[in-house]
Structure 1
């Protein structure tokens, strides 16, 4: 990636031309300087970034104390807010067995966009939160000049993940639009295709991505659930891209880090009339006292994922997932989908 420098032009004063009496005005020579390319400055400096991160931390602390995102101000938005609220609901439904995960905004590495346009993005790799084992990657966004930077989403980095080099915040990183060219895939396409690959690991979309712990865990979980209910039912997995984002920032090699949301749906379907199928675990806890599956029970999870997308001219075009964040947000049932009873005789 080109190193971007910030130039600042300063107008230093005014030129006054006096015409002497009795002299005819002469045509003055006009300056014809070489055009100077303007390069946008980084959208945040160190002190502003520090203040924003502290205010985000204060918002998270207020929400955690109340177990409700309504206690937060506007420093936590979008998928981050939705996921935290889902974590609070799950904690309540499980009597604290599934508590909201620990968060910190204490930074290790920071990167900010260099742009004059909106929306704007910044990313932070944090220290390891207290009570956790792995650092977080956080994405901050500013939607317009009237809005303030806020936490849009975060993921926990996978064990052993090597994050690509980010551009130093003093220089600023290129803001990457969702339909950007010059990458192995545009950011919006990355999220759509990953959702396809998650549900069809043998399909064409799966060839774009390296294997990752999240995809492996989800597929194995659904396979195990299917095995558990096979006497009277089946379990299936669906996934689709979310409505918000993605957000992306250029890396030092001309690639990009992309953070996007998907939703996954794990459905248990009763297939054998007369069989007894029961939803267990968090699915059953969110169903309440009646965890029996008569037709279908579907657990919907909110998922945030971060990816490294190589530049289009990279020798290796494989997209790597860097980390994930997921929470079961809703469980619904459809008793009308029960299998028909076979007629007697």
Structure 2
């Protein structure tokens, strides 16, 4: 007899014994008082990282960021930064060195007003935190930290600057922890993965996207409308027939999502984008439009085209399935990574 068959036989035998016992008990109910059955205690939910441990993590990450900012030894970042955060910070340091100022560096001071701690036992584990108001930024910063495995250190994986006046969703108390949400979770209005894909379409073609109705209008979309018009107007002053285009797509980095108190999710993801500024009139030439893009430009020849490649981070609130609310952006980071003449 196989092991599987033997195990099945034992289960059936045990079930039969249980049925027999219940039958005897039924015959005795008229003779004996039924004993009360104690109710099992509900499991106590708790975060797998305490607030004290999170503070220690934040201090260690902040120490590395501060040390590298002073020394400009970007290779030391990998000890406590990973994924999009590492790529973005390395580029910011490069630009700051070329510009000879620290304006391109996002303030990553890690004094937090709120932490959102993981409750999941398995890895990777992600925690989120919102800073107090940095002195040189108009809004706080939302950060995501990842522990890839039990043997790995927690590292800063990504961050966004929150939108002015944004109302953040509510989360479970920090000591209870908040559950991670899978990239293909269908309890939401749309899965985290699909939300990012749809938003890439909206950022690329704005109201012409078939997904535009799924999203509330936001500051990032308005930024591109205003910035694109500014660039086109500047080119047209020279009668050069200016054009501005932007194209977005998600990266292959995993989407980071955490459950909100109402059953929705806070979703953070990495994207890449390209801005193309063109002077269509023959004989017209244009160069990089900002100090940062000029620092990345180097000694390339000036032509009628400027292409700027960006690394982006976006964070959005995705409502639970059945909600009448739209998906809404809560913050973003938009950092030039390279510039070319097309």
Counterpart in the other structure of 2:222: 216
2:287/2:306 contact within 8 Å kept:
no
Counterpart in the other structure of 2:30: none
Of 146, 154, 179, the residue aligned with 2:151 is: 146
2:297/2:338 contact within 8 Å kept:
no
The Cα shift of 1:291 comes to 5.6
- The answer for unaligned runs of 5 or more in structure 1 is 1-28, 335-345
Counterpart in the other structure of 1:287: 297
The Cα shift of 1:71 comes to 2.4
Work out whether 1:44 is the aligned partner of 2:52: no
Work out whether 1:205 is the aligned partner of 2:211: yes
Alignment of 1:81-100 (within 5 A): 81-96=86-101, 98-100=103-105
The Cα shift of 1:63 comes to 1.8
Counterpart in the other structure of 1:79: 84
Partner secondary structure for residue 58 of structure 2: helix
Distance 1:109 1:261 in 2: 22
In structure 2, the CA distance between the partners of 1:274 and 1:329, relative to structure 1 (3 Å rule), is same
In structure 2, the CA distance between the partners of 1:293 and 1:93, relative to structure 1 (3 Å rule), is farther
1:178/1:188 contact within 8 Å kept:
yes
Of 129, 133, 139, the residue aligned with 2:138 is: 133
1:200/1:206 contact within 8 Å kept:
no
Work out whether 1:227 is the aligned partner of 2:233: yes
Distance 2:44 2:74 in 1: 39
Distance 1:98 1:154 in 2: 17
Work out whether 1:253 is the aligned partner of 2:262: yes
Counterpart in the other structure of 2:314: 305
Distance 2:134 2:103 in 1: 17
The Cα shift of 1:97 comes to 6.8
2:296/2:337 contact within 8 Å kept:
no
Partner secondary structure for residue 148 of structure 1: coil
Indicate the larger mover: 228-237 or 143-152.
228-237
Indicate the larger mover: 72-81 or 303-312.
72-81
CA-atom RMSD, angstroms? Answer: 2.4
More helix by share: 2
1:222/1:266 contact within 8 Å kept:
no
Partner secondary structure for residue 207 of structure 1: helix
Partner secondary structure for residue 50 of structure 1: helix
Partner secondary structure for residue 55 of structure 2: helix
Distance 2:235 2:303 in 1: 10
Deviations 1:139-196 (A, max 9, x none): 1111222212211111111111110111112111111011111101111111111111
Of 271, 296, 306, the residue aligned with 2:280 is: 271
Question: What TM-score results when the alignment is normalised by the length of structure 1?
Answer: 0.81
The Cα shift of 1:270 comes to 4.3
- The answer for unaligned runs of 5 or more in structure 2 is 1-20, 22-37
Distance 1:38 1:135 in 2: 35
Partner secondary structure for residue 84 of structure 1: helix
The Cα shift of 1:125 comes to 1.2
Deviating runs (4+, > 6 A) in structure 1? 33-40
Partner secondary structure for residue 160 of structure 1: coil
Distance 1:73 1:93 in 2: 22
Distance 1:53 1:285 in 2: 31
Counterpart in the other structure of 1:319: 327
Partner secondary structure for residue 161 of structure 2: strand
Partner secondary structure for residue 341 of structure 2: strand
Question: What TM-score results when the alignment is normalised by the length of structure 2?
Answer: 0.81
Counterpart in the other structure of 1:113: 118
